[in-house]
Structure 1
């Protein structure tokens, strides 16, 4: 507690509360998220509807909680997949070196040269909207920061004396990677994953806003923003609620990620690995 800033503790508490509410949404939503009541359309906040209703009379709070399940789940899955794939590519590139390192480095540079959101939009548009295509697009476009960080740190760790000592005593390359290199990468990669989660959540919201996420009658925070936009002046809560939810979660995980990066001394997505490490 003493080493954790107050704003990080507040961010962690807010994030935990949001995640808990979303996880319990099937049991705590006051109304069925897709239930329509045209007589109560665009109702303001009240005791019956805490955040009002949308243009079809659906309860905004119920749809916000249900939509959070999709938004947070797809962002979390994309973070895990990109983290695992990027770390594996970065470590393999640093350990094998030679043509494999050159191939992965040039491939990484190509992906970094392309706007991530534009590439994801193109992939989802090609494969069609929906849960699987959105997850695949985010995974294909999001592994590069993890790969660059893992490669740079694996180069650094591989140049240390205890790695040479492990080779001398006969440790296999697989044992060296699992026992010595990956544990040194765990903290920095966790910090990177926390920061990337916020970015991926915003990407999910943006793609869903464009109609490439879940399809009606299901909801997520991005599609709620798009549906509420024409009625923003008549019913501000319908657009403020999902927008603030995305902002709050992204801000909280970013603050936590920055704190983890400082604690682990992790460079976040370094521009390039150190020349000394490459020549070691």
Structure 2
């Protein structure tokens, strides 16, 4: 921790506080996120409503915390799924080579040629709005960067001498992948995942802003932006709060990811196949 740059420490601290507040939102929200009070609609910040209320009199802070659970969860799940699928495709392409490598590479190129946001928008519109379709659309549209990176890294690792030594010593292909290749891919792919998380969070907000995310009375940061836009002048915090939440979280995760990417650009340290061949 002492060797971390100051901006990374600040970003990690802010991110941890936001994630903790969102995780504890069912117990710490001052009001029910769906409770309406038309007599207090578009109220300014005050003692009872720290961030004011929206056009239906709902507490902005409570809806911000509840909406963060959906936005952060869907972005995190999409990051994990795209990372797992992309890594599997990239490693399989690098290890098998031949026609399978050609097929997977050309498939990856096709998806990379399509604008990710447009593809996700088309899939959500085709499947219908909601949590499952949004997650599926983001996963289908977003696995290609992981596949491309994993393929390049796996090619580089596979060409090194300790991989050939492990094969000569009798290690199975699965053992070589699990114990010698994936550990060397972990740090760069983790850095890629943090960078992708910020992009996916923005995509979730954009799709929800267009009405393709969660449906009322549930909320997320993108739908809060859309609902508050007509009343931005009368209640600016109702639109600033979710917008700043998306910006701050995406910025913090991106700063952490850039640091991880820089740290991962170190020479590969080979493991010892002679010590592990007995476990193959």
- What is the TM-score of this pair, normalised by structure 2? 0.94
2:117 matched residue in structure 1: 117
1:143 and 2:143 correspond: yes
1:252 aligns with 2:252: yes
Tell me the alpha carbon deviations over residues 143-168 of structure 1, each in whole angstroms, 9 at most, x when there is no partner: 00000000000000000000000111
Q: Aligned-pair distance for 1:2?
A: 3.3
**C-alpha distance in 1, partners of 2:44/2:243?**
17
* 1:64-104 Cα distance to aligned partner (Å, 9 max, x none): 00000000000000000000000000000000000100011
Runs of at least 4 residues off by over 2 Å: none
Question: Quick one: distance in 2 between partners of 1:2 and 1:18?
Answer: 22
Distance in 2 (CA, whole Å) between partners of 1:210 and 1:16 is: 29
Q: Deviations over 1:155-208 (max 9, x none)?
A: 000000000001111111011000100000011111000110000000000000
1:134 aligns with 2:123: no
5+ residue gaps, structure 2, are 267-280
Correspondence for 1:107: 107
Query: 1:202 maps to what in 2?
Result: 202
1:243 corresponds to which residue? 243
User: Shift of residue 3 of structure 1?
Assistant: 1.9
Distance 2:103 2:234 in 1: 55
Within 2, Cα distance between the matches of 1:46 and 1:88?
51
For 2:230 and 2:23, locate their aligned partners in 1 and report how far apart those are by CA, in whole Å.
30
Question: What residue in structure 2 maps to residue 274 of structure 1?
Answer: none
Q: CA RMSD, aligned part only?
A: 0.6
- What residue number does 1:15 align with? 15
Name 1:220's counterpart in structure 2: 220
The answer to whether 1:66 aligns with 2:33 is: no
Which residues of structure 1 form unaligned runs of 5+? 267-280
CA offset digits 1:17-61 (Å, max 9, x no partner): 000000000000000000000000000000110000000000000
Query: How many positions carry a matched residue from both structures?
Result: 266
Q: Deviations over 1:196-222 (max 9, x none)?
A: 000000000000000000000000000
Tell me the residue number matched to 2:182. 182
